[in-house]
Amino acid sequence: MTATIGMIPSHLPPRLAITLWDFSWYTRAGAGEPFADLDYAFDEAVARGYNAVRICAAPLYLFGGLDLPEHLRISGLGPTPVGGYYGEGTRWYDVPGGFSLALRQRLFDLFTSARRHGCVVILSSWEYQQSPSFSSTDDWWQKIDGIPWQSRLDALATATKRMLHALAEQGFAEQIAFVELHNEVDFSRVPSTDKAIDRAVENVSAEFPAIPVSVSYGKPPHLDMESVPDSLQVAQFHIYAYGVLDALQSEIDLRSTGTDGFPNAALRAIQADGAPTYGAYGRPEAWRLDATVITDQMLYGYDTIDPDRWDLWLYEHYALFRESMHREIESRIVAVAAWARKHAVPLVFGEGWVGYTPLRGSFEEGPVGKELAERGVRIGLEQGAWGSVLTSNAAPHHPLWDDIRWQRRLNKEITDAE
């Protein structure tokens, strides 16, 4: 097996088996929800072979000097006029809400539990992509949206430094695997220029030289990796091969908003019997959609599809895309690994491998999705990756979490690779 690229700090695991807890560790923390008990969530993670969690640490909310309440009230995207709540058929947006939590103390509690379980934490932010949309008020979103575009990474850097000081004061410095200033800078409302990223990374690194600092990319520019800023101290890239999924999403027009004639006949053909009309379903408050990268058409589509019809469409058309999806995963991993090798920095895959599927769809959890995931993980290890998710859907808030045996087996390949 290929040795890891770059220098790994000696106090950190030689390989990271990562489970993606994103913002769900605080948005799905109500009674009976997957993260209600952090110790239990870590118990389950360790039992499945994980040794690292990747989270939205909400640095701007907690340490951005924005005068936000100590207790964050989670409401989700709100109730629909036809019953239920917006996003209940999606992944990550299936937030019923109805509770509040002291978010800073919860961050410390997460680190306490991580240390107790021998896990490390990857610190990120989804604040300019999703997180504020689940709050009961728009205060969080309005305050960070008020930060001038060109200054947003600088504000994240300042907040991150304050967060790292607070964690160090609590004795948690050695539980931090690395910091990424924001998730998917290419798909978020932050500047992604070399100058902005370099300045923010160097700002944090100058004060915390022992903690690697980076950003992540949702679609790495694998055909032009020279465009990636040289300052990144971890090559944290997301490798998705949408392929057949992209074909279906395009056919039923889920990524758009305001399309005349939506929903079209193709979407209606895979909706559940008795699904509400688009007009009856309505849409969340405008500010919630402003605070996310998801569209009202996608929410409606995912909340109303029949998962069996959805999966059947993907399986019926997959043969047309199988070769290209496997090739995309391999070629993109090789490209980003070459960049990491050239810059002598660790390589991490914090998300992958198919894409954004409905909550109750099982395509990625089934044999096709698992084959793609195993290929991605193994090629990553062959290329010298330090860490990887099994898939973005392998976490307590997704149905794949119940497949304990598969997670144990593939995580063992990661952690035994050294």
Condensed to tens digits (0 to 9), the pLDDT of residues 124-175 reads 999 999 999 999 999 999 999 999 999 999 999 999 999 999 999 999 999 9
Convert the pLDDT of each residue in 203-240 to its tens digit.
999 999 999 999 999 999 999 999 999 999 999 999 99
Q: Tell whether the model's pLDDT for residue 36 goes beyond 90.
A: yes
Convert the pLDDT of each residue in 291-343 to its tens digit.
999 999 999 999 999 999 999 999 999 999 999 999 999 999 999 999 999 99
Q: How far apart are CA 33 and CA 69, in angstroms?
A: 23
Domains (ranges, CATH) in the chain?
16-415 (3.20.20.80)
- Could you tell me what percent of the chain has a pLDDT over 90? 99
- pLDDT, average across residues 265-289: 98
Q: Tell whether the model's pLDDT for residue 392 goes beyond 90.
A: yes
Q: Mean pLDDT over all residues of the chain?
A: 97
Query: Which residues have a Cβ under 8 Å from the Cβ of 328 and sit 6 or more positions away?
Result: 241, 243
Give the Cα-Cα-Cα angle 373, 230, 226 (nearest 5 degrees): 70
Contact 395, 41 (CB under 8 A): no
SS3 call for 213: strand
Q: Tell whether the model's pLDDT for residue 111 goes beyond 70.
A: yes
Q: Which residues pair with 162 in a beta bridge?
A: none
Provide φ and ψ at 240, rounded to 5°. Answer: -115, 135
Q: Tell whether the model's pLDDT for residue 288 goes beyond 70.
A: yes
Joined tokens for residue 343? 């810059």
Q: Tell whether the model's pLDDT for residue 418 goes beyond 80.
A: no
pTM of the model: 0.98
DSSP code for 277: P
- Could you tell me what percent of the chain has a pLDDT over 70? 100
Look-up: residue for tokens 């509770």? 99
Q: Tell whether the model's pLDDT for residue 2 goes beyond 90.
A: no
Q: Please report the pLDDT score of residue 187 as a whole number.
A: 95
Joined tokens for residue 158? 């300042």
Q: Please report the pLDDT score of residue 333 as a whole number.
A: 98
Convert the pLDDT of each residue in 333-374 to its tens digit.
999 999 999 999 999 999 999 999 999 999 999 999 999 999
Q: Please report the pLDDT score of residue 1 as a whole number.
A: 61
